[in-house]
Amino acid sequence: MITQVIAHRGSKGLRPENTLPAFSKAIEAGADGIETDVHLSKDGELIIIHDETVNRTTNGTGRVYDMTLKELKELDAGSYFGLNYLGTRIPTLQEVVHLLIESHYTGVFNLEFKTDKFGYPGLEEKVANYFDSIDYPFHLVYSSFNPKSIKKIHAIQPTIETASLFKLRTASAKRFAKKNVIQDWHPSIAWVRSHRWFLPRMEIRPWTVNSEDNMEFCFKHHFKGIITDFPERGLSIRKSIQG
Residues noted as catalytic: 8, 50
Closest distance of CB 88 from ligand G3P, Å: 19
Work out whether 17 is an interface residue with Mg ion (CB under 5 A).
no
| Contact yes or no for 15/42 (Cβ under 8 A) | no
Work out whether 229 is an interface residue with Mg ion (CB under 5 A).
no
Type and span of the H or E element at 108: strand 108-113
Work out whether 37 is an interface residue with ligand G3P (CB under 6 A).
yes
Q: Quick one: 71 or 203, whose CB is closer to ligand G3P?
A: 203
d(CA 91, CA 89): 6
- Using CB under 6 A, pick the residue from 32, 45, 112, 232 that binds ligand G3P: 112
Q: How many residues bind ligand G3P (CB under 6 A)?
A: 10
Q: Quick one: 142 or 219, whose CB is closer to ligand G3P?
A: 142
d(CA 102, CA 114): 26
d(CA 40, CA 33): 23
Q: Which stretch binds Mg ion (CB under 5 A): 37-45, 51-59, 90-98, 181-189?
A: 37-45
d(CA 74, CA 46): 16
φ, ψ dihedrals at 19, nearest 5° = -120, 165
Q: Quick one: 112 or 124, whose CB is closer to Mg ion?
A: 112
Q: Quick one: 29 or 71, whose CB is closer to ligand G3P?
A: 29
Binders of ligand G3P among 57-96, rule CB under 6 A? none
Work out whether 37 is an interface residue with Mg ion (CB under 5 A).
yes
First to last CA, the chain: 11
Q: Quick one: 115 or 242, whose CB is closer to Mg ion?
A: 115
44: left (phi over 0), alpha (psi -120 to 50) or beta: left
Work out whether 143 is an interface residue with ligand G3P (CB under 6 A).
yes
Q: Is the peptide bond before 36 cis (omega within 30 degrees of 0)?
A: no
Q: Provide the CB-side half-sphere exposure for 201 (13 A, CA).
A: 1
Work out whether 229 is an interface residue with ligand G3P (CB under 6 A).
no
- Using CB under 5 A, pick the residue from 17, 32, 45, 112 that binds Mg ion: 112
Work out whether 184 is an interface residue with ligand G3P (CB under 6 A).
no
Residues that bind Mg ion (CB under 5 A): 37, 112
